[in-house]
Amino acid sequence: MMSETPEAPERSALWAPAHSDCRPRRVGKSETTTRHGDWRLRQDDGPDVDPAAYVLVCRSEAEDGTVCGAESGPVPTTDEMREWARKHEWNHDDHRSFRLLADVAMVMVPEVEPL
Ligand SMILES: [Zn+2]
């Protein structure tokens, strides 16, 4: 006779550890929260963090399969990244496929500020 294990994949996919030192909690269920409450990941725009840096790498291929590999170099904003892509596509027909490498300071903040 088959017995259902508690770690069946379709069930464990609904669970995510909120903190390494806490028990897992049910995702999307507000009645079960950890002692730390709910947290949200966002960009850290504090004064003591390094500024964001974005690098766009062209992954378009020539007809012989050679990948372009041109890089924007680190730029501080997504607007400058988009501008580099526009210029690159302008100078190299059909180079429209890129990879984004982002170095952005992030911080976890509570959903509800502590009293
Ligand atoms: Zn290219």
| SS3 state at 41 | strand
Distance 54 CA to ligand 1 centre (A): 17
- Supply the mean pLDDT for the chain: 79
- The tokens describing 75, both together, are 């730029």
- As a whole number, mean pLDDT of residues 27-33 equals 47
The structural domains of the chain, with segments of one domain joined by +, span 9-37, 53-106
Report the DSSP beta bridge partners of residue 16. Answer: 25
Distance 79 CA to ligand 1 centre (A): 18
pLDDT of residue 19: 53
For ligand 1, an ion, list residues with CB under 5 A. 58, 60, 68, 70, 92, 95
Residue in this structure with the two tokens 């963090």, named with its chain if needed: 49
For 44-73, what is each residue's pLDDT tens digit? 988 999 999 999 999 999 889 999 999 999
First to last CA, the chain: 53
